[in-house]
Amino acid sequence: MIVTKENPRWEELLTGKVNHKFRLASAAMMLSRCQRSVQNDPSPQTIKKNIDDLHAFFTKFENVAHDDMREIFQ
């Protein structure tokens, strides 16, 4: 089960406070895209949008990304 969007780890991932080497290349690319978006515009709205995007991605691919999620959100 993917943690809620309200968990502060999502923002920490976006801002680089949490660094994780993903097993799934597509997850690393998704995070990188979202991080660039937040670097270009660190407004609360952009952060929220990218958390929504990350959460949707990891919810969709939960069956293959569960190990990464467990490590990040432990």
Domain assignment present for residue 1? The answer is no
Domain assignment present for residue 66? The answer is yes
**Overall domain count for the chain:** 1
Domain assignment present for residue 39? The answer is yes
Low-confidence ranges of the chain (pLDDT < 70): none
Residue pair 38/50 in contact by the 8 Å Cβ criterion: yes
Domain assignment present for residue 3? The answer is no
The pLDDT score that the predictor gives to residue 49 is 98
Domain assignment present for residue 4? The answer is no
